């Protein structure tokens, strides 16, 4: 939908974008079509969209012939979403994606998430979906550019951190495009990125205890400029560093996913 169409809808329903919910409505048909194209969905694909808002991306998805399950927290925009998608292949669920029961809403089978995610919940939402929604096998999501770069970062990248490691254990990730602030109503203060994630059917490295590896990663990156012997004090012994082949004087940002896995498993 165009900017004028979205403004007309907002005026007709006496609505304004919610700052509390981080709403920035996509107002550019070309960008919506680009997202659909990059997502790789085809007619018949089952797509879950989080935060559809007034439905600009939703309409583009439906035009591609997919089935959409739209999860929207804001009950005030539901009448708009229902009006622009009336008679189409869509299920609208008024729920919070951070607490929704994915199995109840989506069931089994294979799903793709295509969404313009609210900036304030993008990372925790993705982590929760990877852990609790195995039926979502692929993602094409729009997030704040810095967040997107962290999701896809590897050792040596400026954005490499704890989230990068946790995502790498769950999925392959890459930034496939950027989106300027000018295509939103209202325009955000930051640029956005399009990130493609594809779930691993099996993790690229195996660990005995995922929770332990996560604890080490979080502790290591909590003060990323300090040496691991300090950040992991009480969690990793000198003998375990030696067994894993990890220099205790190294910093968290120099360890790959495989390094973290060895350190977690070291006995």
CATH number for 242: 1.10.8.100
- What is the CB neighbour count within 10 angstroms for residue 215? 14
pLDDT at 108: 86
Instruction: Give the model's confidence band at 187: pLDDT under 50 very low, under 70 low, under 90 confident, else very high.
Output: very high
105 and 146 part of one domain: yes
Assess whether pLDDT exceeds 90 at residue 100: yes
Tell me what pLDDT residue 19 has: 85
Model confidence at 224, pLDDT cuts 50, 70, 90, reads confident
- Residue 205 included in any domain: no
Angle at CA of residue 245, ends 242 and 248, nearest 5°: 65
Boundary of a domain, candidates 153, 176, 199: 199
Same domain, 115 and 235: no
Whose CA is closest to 70, among 40, 100, 41?
100
Same domain (yes/no): 248, 130: no
Structural domain contains residue 62: yes
Q: At 118, phi and psi to the nearest 5?
A: -55, 130
- Does 170 lie in the same domain as 218? no
pLDDT digits (tens, 9 = 90+) for 194-203: 999 999 999 9
Residues 155 and 216 in one domain: no
The per-residue pLDDT for 119 is 86
Q: Decide: 115 and 142 in contact? Cβ < 8 Å.
A: yes
Q: Which domain holds residue 256?
A: 210-265
Same domain, 112 and 231: no
Q: Is residue 239 part of a domain?
A: yes
Is 248 found in the same domain as 131? no
Read off the pLDDT band of 118 (50, 70, 90). Answer: confident
Whole-prediction pTM: 0.93
Q: Is a pLDDT exceeding 90 seen at residue 20?
A: no
pLDDT > 90: percent of the chain:
93
The number of domains in the chain is 2
pLDDT digits (tens, 9 = 90+) for 144-157: 999 999 999 999 99
**The 3-state secondary structure of 158-227, one letter per residue:** CCCCHHHHHHHHHEEEEEEEEECHHHEECCCCCCEEEEEEEECCCCCCCCCCHHHHHHHHHHHHHCCCCE
């Amino acid at each position: 939908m165009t900017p004028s169409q979205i403004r007309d809808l907002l005026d007709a329903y006496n609505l304004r974008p919610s700052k509390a919910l981080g709403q920035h409505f996509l107002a550019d048909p070309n960008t919506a079509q680009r997202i659909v194209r990059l997502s790789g969905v085809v007619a018949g694909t089952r797509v879950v969209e989080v935060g559809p808002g007034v439905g600009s991306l939703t309409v583009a998805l439906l035009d591609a012939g997919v089935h959409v399950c739209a999860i929207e927290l804001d009950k005030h925009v539901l009448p708009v979403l229902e009006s622009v998608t009336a008679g189409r292949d869509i299920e609208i669920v008024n729920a919070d994606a951070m607490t929704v029961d994915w199995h109840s809403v989506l069931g089994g089978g294979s799903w793709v998430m295509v969404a313009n995610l609210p900036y304030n919940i993008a990372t925790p939402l993705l982590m929760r979906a990877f852990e609790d929604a195995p039926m979502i096998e692929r993602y094409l999501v729009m997030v704040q550019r810095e967040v997107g770069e962290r999701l896809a970062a590897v050792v040596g990248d400026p954005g490499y951190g704890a989230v990068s490691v946790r995502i790498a254990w769950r999925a392959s990730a890459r930034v496939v495009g950027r989106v300027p602030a000018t295509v939103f109503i209202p325009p955000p203060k930051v640029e956005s990125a399009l990130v493609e994630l594809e779930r691993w059917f099996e993790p690229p490295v195996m660990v005995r205890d995922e929770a332990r590896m996560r604890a080490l990663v979080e502790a290591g990156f909590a003060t990323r400029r300090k040496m691991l012997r300090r950040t992991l004090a009480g969690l990793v012994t000198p003998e375990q560093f030696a067994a894993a082949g990890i220099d205790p004087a190294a910093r968290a940002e120099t360890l790959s996913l495989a390094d973290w896995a060895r350190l977690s498993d070291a006995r």
